[in-house]
Amino acid sequence: MLPRDKMTVDDELEIIRRGVEEIISEDELVRKLETARRESRPLIVKQGFDPTAPDIHLGHTVSLRKLRQFEELGHKVIFLVGDFTALIGDPTGRSKLRPRMTREEILSNAETYKKQIFKLLDPEKTAIDFNSRWLAKMSFADVLGLASRYTVARMLERDDFAKRFADGKPISIMEFLYPLAQAYDSVALKADIELGGTDQKFNLLVGRDIQKEYGLEPQVLILMPLLEGTDGVQKMSKSYKNYIGVNDEPFDMYRKIMSNPDSLIMRYFTLCSDYDVKRLKKIEQALESGSVNPMELKKELAYDIVKLYHTEEAANEAKKRFEDVFQKRKSIPEDIPVVSMKRGEPVWVVELMKRAGVISSSSEGIRLINQGAVEIDGVKVRNPKEKLSFDRETIFKVGKRRFFKVCLK
């Protein structure tokens, strides 16, 4: 990337556009970039993350990578921890009320977020803020003043609210306050630009409206595509248990990427790698022409992603271990027991072994796990109380010669 002082606004715009689903609006963005140059100041670029679970996954990194580009372009990036909004719970995409979290759970998750984001963002250039800093201080009169600036009719334009209302499912007033609280974040920070996934479009548009209500120039919205999870269908989400965490162990990260359907290869290269446009085009052409084995491309992708979030040494070890396990799979007998499971259905690991008929009692299963004699795709099971769920075919090894397979119904 060229130094910013050698770039034109068009150069900046080309970088910002890359991998973006939608910009609202590009004309406004150009004006903001021109003003920032004229006034020799950075733009304020924010994105909020509610710490509803301890892990940041590759789906989050799609926008984190864009935030890093803004840092490299010399703008001010604010990683906003939604420690207050998480108490409400984002209703986006929900068909029912989200369970409320405790303050302790939120703060614990927030601490892990702070450690994980610097795998991508520059700690010297990233401001971390918490929206409790202003939202927790608002009086009831302040909340009423904020609520008066938006109507119920406009709130019901939101798809998930409209569907629940039409189906007679409850919508709490608290849920209506979530988009308003998120919007007020942009007022408090005087954001020039806000990033979010395409599923956040409604909330981010509310932010533009509320900024105008408070006499501020509305923020530009940069909507990032949603990355599909390991099931190849749903967006990557901790709720769907189809995610690849940036803190996953190297081998676990590698094998999850290798388990992705071939249809996601190009998607992951585009959204999760640092490959330039020319290299991505060559990969796309190779896939379309069939001149490359998709597995080799997935190995390249898995290696690069593990290297990015861990080390080159860890990537080499994960690759070798996967190939060892894969080769061993070829020598596994074809007539091993098969257990059919629903995708995401939880089951106690010992109960699963009993269903497969490879142990005669729970006590035998617990003893074998404690001895390190049970493996799932080459990874030892350590906790005899563990509950498992599955998003792909999985091979179990019990002892030296017993195998069984989990297949999805």
Residues 231-262 have pLDDT tens digits of: 888 888 877 778 898 988 998 899 889 888 88
305: closest CA among 259, 273, 265, 258? 273
Give the model's pLDDT for residue 92: 56
Span of 31-35, 107-111, 317-321 with lowest mean pLDDT:
107-111
Q: Which long-range contacts (CB under 8 A, 24 or more apart) does 156-165 make?
A: 157/202, 158/202, 159/202, 160/91, 160/92, 160/93, 160/94, 160/95, 161/91, 163/95, 164/95, 164/96
Give the model's pLDDT for residue 146: 94
Tokens 């990537």 correspond to what residue? 315
Span of 56-60, 168-172, 306-310, 365-369 with lowest mean pLDDT:
168-172
- 19-68 residue pLDDT tens: 899 999 999 999 999 999 999 999 999 999 888 777 889 999 999 999 99
Span 282-287, average pLDDT: 91
The rounded distance, in Å, linking the Cα atoms of 404 and 309 is 32
Span 363-382, average pLDDT: 89
| 174 φ, ψ (degrees, to nearest 5) | -60, -40
Give the model's pLDDT for residue 155: 85
- Sheet strands side by side (includes 379-380): 338-341, 402-408, 394-398, 374-376, 379-380
Q: Which domains does the chain have, with CATH numbers?
A: 4-224 (3.40.50.620), 250-330 (1.10.240.10), 338-408 (3.10.290.10)
pLDDT at 193 over 80: yes
Give the model's pLDDT for residue 95: 44
Instruction: Give me the residues paired with residue 383 across strands.
Output: none
Q: Please answer whether residues 62 and 225 qualify as being in contact, where contact means their C-beta atoms are separated by less than 8 angstroms.
A: yes
Span 124-138, average pLDDT: 93
Give the model's pLDDT for residue 37: 92
Span 356-367, average pLDDT: 93
Average pLDDT, the chain: 88
Helix (H) or strand (E) segment spanning residue 395: strand 394-398
Give the model's pLDDT for residue 90: 62
Span of 88-92, 114-118, 271-275 with lowest mean pLDDT:
88-92
Span 348-352, average pLDDT: 95
pLDDT at 96 over 60: no
Span 209-213, average pLDDT: 95
pLDDT at 284 over 80: yes
The rounded distance, in Å, linking the Cα atoms of 95 and 170 is 9
Centre a 10 Å sphere on the Cβ of residue 259 and count the other Cβ atoms it contains: 18
Give the model's pLDDT for residue 323: 85
- Sheet strands side by side (includes 126-130): 22-24, 220-224, 193-197, 44-49, 76-81, 126-130
pLDDT at 93 over 60: no
Span 106-133, average pLDDT: 88
Give the model's pLDDT for residue 322: 86
Span of 110-114, 308-312, 393-397, 402-406 with lowest mean pLDDT:
110-114
Give percent above pLDDT 70 in the chain.
95
More confident residue, 111 or 73: 73
| 403 φ, ψ (degrees, to nearest 5) | -135, 155
Q: At 113, is the pLDDT very low, low, confident or very high (cuts 50, 70, 90)?
A: confident
Q: Is the dihedral of CA 312, 318, 320, 326 positive or negative?
A: negative
Span 120-125, average pLDDT: 92
Span 299-303, average pLDDT: 94
